[in-house]
Structure 1
């Protein structure tokens, strides 16, 4: 199916689209991964420093672990797109609709056509973002743990004007958050909605108004605050599947214990080669299944 949509639709009006009965993610092997340029603060000082062999071993560790609890689809890597491994930045997916990114930097814009082709072949409906409207997929737009509303960031990569366009894809409520620290250039570096109504976040990445929005949406007992040290080790860049949280390994941190105290099962994996490019676990896997399937709601 090569259907594109340019007007809002709701789930019960959709033609036949992929329906996954198990948690399902898209991943892209790091065959050509490297830091070839600097488009975020984490890349500075790391040009050509990642080891491709180590990166592949770390990616494979994540891939093999996710396969124990989810189905994984694979996207072919492309030689002139070293950041394609961070596939979660390329789209947001829900109810068979894939909202394709419109990357702010020219270096990542070639990825868009490869994702568009993959989603077409897989039968998704495409929601294309206008070229002049910067939007960077799950990097900057995340559904809450129940899939009822979107949190979307602006201020570094994604522009505020994209939010209305994005919300129209699913006729859903969207809450805008303003990122103010360039280190946290994407929402998924400092904010993670989790199952059972929890959220994990680094407050100082947001302006005062945005912090108030988060506090209004989540009661204090559901807010898991991340320290600056943990945030700069991408502690919020996690994959959440039901009670399972998969994250980059943290040293001398009580965050995994705090998550386990809330009933989550935490797996820490070495993903340090990808921190050099500005991503960790969440950036390496794009959710394809609906939230009620992914989190077993």
Structure 2
């Protein structure tokens, strides 16, 4: 029986939202002046005012859902700082800092760690290259950890030792999905025994990683290439409400079938830098 057949037979679950705290960064300096991922084209004009307006809609959506949003000040010369998910990984008030692969983003790591320290988090300076919650996703008590393009696999053992949790390594093979949060959406982070609480794009992973995902999450939502290609999987869920790319209409339908409430937001300007809803959102787990 395929995952699609399984999904069709499942009755929509009753789901409950829970309030979250997020860290975001206004895209005051957003532009695309270099190319470090396939989405970025420095010769293509960007509109900072449009990016700010779209970001504000995302911020207002979170506030309207009852979530708390904290802000880190943007730094001139760091146009990608708006993608706050890459700034660290936070569990139980411990903030594991980011160490970026490309020189263009490396100053973001200290900027985010300074913010964490000033706001009462126990900051841990990383020993290995990692790009924060872009490549670390908490699913129940398990941490799914991405590698292949950005975060080094050695950072996975560092995270396992730091947080004392099971860390599952997944290898990305498609450069369009260079962070784990572009290829997997965590739909119910608080439920560890639900085999349907993630969505993912199979073609983003190597065979070993795909086998792991199929074994662990046999009822996961399998998202199509079209929705994934606009970073539809780069989404945020509170257990019921799922904020997604507004153009990811197929994923929207799949979510409704499973009892979630998808909310579409247009972040097309920020997509020019290779980021979507999740990229702009770092969860602060105190």
TM-score by length of 2: 0.89
| Contact 1:30–1:55 (Cα < 8 Å) also in 2 | yes
Report the alpha carbon displacement of residue 126 of structure 1 after superposing the two structures with TM.
1.2
Residue 170 in structure 1 maps to residue 183 in structure 2:
no
The separation in 2 between residues aligned to 1:47 and 1:83, in whole angstroms, is 17
Residue 125 in structure 1 maps to residue 118 in structure 2:
no
Residue 229 in structure 1 maps to residue 229 in structure 2:
no
Task: Show the counterpart of 1:217.
Answer: 216
Task: Show the counterpart of 1:201.
Answer: 200
Report the alpha carbon displacement of residue 47 of structure 1 after superposing the two structures with TM.
4.0
Task: Show the counterpart of 1:62.
Answer: 58
Residue 138 in structure 1 maps to residue 133 in structure 2:
yes
| Contact 1:156–1:186 (Cα < 8 Å) also in 2 | yes
Report the alpha carbon displacement of residue 46 of structure 1 after superposing the two structures with TM.
4.4
Indicate the SS of the match to 1:278: coil
Q: How many residues align?
A: 262
The separation in 2 between residues aligned to 1:277 and 1:269, in whole angstroms, is 16
Residue 265 in structure 1 maps to residue 261 in structure 2:
yes
Indicate the SS of the match to 1:84: helix
The separation in 1 between residues aligned to 2:135 and 2:45, in whole angstroms, is 26
Task: Show the counterpart of 2:74.
Answer: 77
The separation in 2 between residues aligned to 1:254 and 1:181, in whole angstroms, is 21
Deviations, residues 202-223 of structure 1 (Å, cap 9, x unaligned): 000000100010111112x3x1
| Contact 2:227–2:250 (Cα < 8 Å) also in 1 | no
Indicate the SS of the match to 1:192: strand
Task: Show the counterpart of 2:144.
Answer: 151
Larger deviation: 58-67 or 111-120? 111-120
| Contact 1:39–1:105 (Cα < 8 Å) also in 2 | yes
RMSD of Structure 2 on Structure 1 (CA): 1.3
The separation in 2 between residues aligned to 1:224 and 1:168, in whole angstroms, is 30
Is there any run of 5+ residues in structure 1 with no aligned partner, and where? 1-20, 291-297
Indicate the SS of the match to 2:34: coil
Match of 1:98 among 95, 98, 115: 95
Residue 25 in structure 1 maps to residue 41 in structure 2:
no
| Contact 2:34–2:42 (Cα < 8 Å) also in 1 | no
Runs of 4 or more, structure 1, over 6 Å off, are none
Task: Show the counterpart of 2:273.
Answer: 277
Residue 110 in structure 1 maps to residue 103 in structure 2:
no
Indicate the SS of the match to 1:185: coil
Deviations, residues 87-139 of structure 1 (Å, cap 9, x unaligned): 10110111000110110001101111111111111111112112xx2100011
The separation in 1 between residues aligned to 2:77 and 2:247, in whole angstroms, is 32
The separation in 2 between residues aligned to 1:271 and 1:79, in whole angstroms, is 21
The separation in 2 between residues aligned to 1:80 and 1:280, in whole angstroms, is 20
